[in-house]
Amino acid sequence: MPLLAVFSAAHTAGGAQPVGSTVRYEQQYEDFERAQKYNLKYERQFLKRLSTKREHQLLRRLLGRQAHCARILEIPCGGGRISPQLAGVTDLLIQADIGLGQVRYGKTRPRLPIPQVWMTASAFHIPLRDAGVDAVVCIRLAHHLGTAQEREDLVVELLRVARRYVIMTFFDDDSLKNNLRRLRGKKPKRTMKVSRVAQLAANGGAELAVCPRLAFVGSGHRYALMVKTSSRGISTPTALSPHRQDPRAD
């Protein structure tokens, strides 16, 4: 298994100096046992199982808008919680995570019916050429990053390596859950605005096609589908519905 992880965004040219929370998160799942414990929570806890079911539904909906891929990169892949949803839409799944423990745990899971490649890699420093894969899927990473600049650097890097589209999650700054935190005087989550995600997509030669909520009340997460539209990526016809949903819609 290639070990290609570069720790911290500080090593990215022009990237922001990472805050301590980002560095701690990057190093959190080097250990196999800790990674295993994290993944088993999603299998055993009722609310987490419900969340996973909703995420699988959203992924199927977004992936169903796109043509079949030759190669998809899943980063971070974690222990493979969402990987089965990708098996039917690509010929090869590249699974990468900065945590060696996560990748090792993922390799213990049942194999998918398509070829899989595992490696350690940072989502700030993806060891692939520009437009090196058809698509990139990045779930539940952005809200762990300590600064707004790091979250934006992440979007830029994902769009760099994707030839056709990116699916990523982020915690919506204008979500009900985040606004309630503000009203209670609690520290806001590590968020992004939908409008800023749309702007970053446009800067990277893509369009924010849809951006559904994971849940209106119980979660502030959104799933963003960014489809490449210009030569900054590769201009590719997409399979989007002619009745395109507004990015701010549910």
Lay out the sheet containing 116-120: strands in order across.
116-120, 90-97, 69-74, 133-138, 162-171, 221-228, 206-210
Say whether pLDDT at 60 is over 60. yes
SS3 20: helix
For residue 235, tell me if it sits in a domain.
no
- Could you check whether the bond before residue 76 is cis, i.e. omega within 30 degrees of 0? yes
Say whether pLDDT at 143 is over 80. yes
Q: How many structural domains is the chain composed of?
A: 1
Q: What is the CATH number of the domain that holds 207?
A: 3.40.50.150
SS3 47: helix
For residue 110, tell me if it sits in a domain.
yes
Say whether pLDDT at 217 is over 90. no
For residue 83, tell me if it sits in a domain.
yes
For residue 6, tell me if it sits in a domain.
no
For residue 237, tell me if it sits in a domain.
no
- Kindly indicate the confidence band of residue 9, based on its pLDDT and cuts at 50, 70 and 90: low
Residue 201 burial (CB count, 10 A): 26
Comparing 44-53, 54-63, 166-175, 237-246, which segment has the lowest mean pLDDT? 237-246
Higher pLDDT, 43 or 199: 199
For residue 3, tell me if it sits in a domain.
no
For residue 38, tell me if it sits in a domain.
yes
pLDDT at 240: 34
- Give pLDDT tens digits for 186-197: 887 899 999 999
Mean pLDDT of the chain: 87
For residue 162, tell me if it sits in a domain.
yes
Indicate the angle between helix axes 100-107 and 32-44, nearest 10 degrees. Answer: 60
pLDDT at 248: 40
Where in the sequence is the domain holding 218, given as residue range(s)? 18-228
- Kindly indicate the confidence band of residue 18, based on its pLDDT and cuts at 50, 70 and 90: low
